[in-house]
Amino acid sequence: MAILRPPMIYGKGCRGNYRTLEKIALHTPVFPDFPNERSMCSIKNLCEFVRMLAESQEAGLFFPQDPDYVKTAEMVEKLARAHGKRVVLVKGMNWAIVLAGRMPGKIGGMVNKAFGSLVYEKNVDVGFSSLDD
């Protein structure tokens, strides 16, 4: 049996956190340029991983991801550009992100979810280096 634990999935038709970032990119002219790293996986790469896994019939726990970590601000900027919009990344707001992340409850949780670092250890065996979206 194989168990997959992919990080945030992005690409055409994706929902969830990706869709939220896309909405922000389309409606926000300014976004914090906060230094974080996120593991992500394109829907194309995830499908290819599932295909390779089915063919190999390997068993275990798998964490498929793209070869490079992504910064939330860079993702928002790329999404905006893909839709013909422009987002200005600002470092001057970073203190507010740190402060808001320390708040208890829902606000602190949402800030940490958006701007926290969340990465899986890189695995050279995944084989996504030749795939691109």
The residue extents of the domains of the chain are 2-115
Contact between 115 and 34 under an 8 Å Cβ cutoff? The reply is yes
Beta-strand runs (E) in the chain: 2-4, 8-10, 30-32, 40-42, 60-62, 88-90
Tell me: domain 2-115, CATH 3.40.50.720, correct?
Answer: yes
Would you tell me the crossing angle of helices 72-82 and 17-27 to the nearest 10 degrees?
A: 60
* Nearest CA-CA partner of 8 in 124, 123, 98, 116: 116
Q: List per-residue pLDDT tens for the chain, 133 residues long.
A: 899 999 989 888 888 888 888 888 899 999 999 999 999 999 999 999 999 999 999 998 999 999 999 999 999 999 999 999 999 999 888 999 999 999 999 988 888 888 888 888 876 454 444 344 4
User: What's the confidence (pLDDT) of residue 107?
Assistant: 87
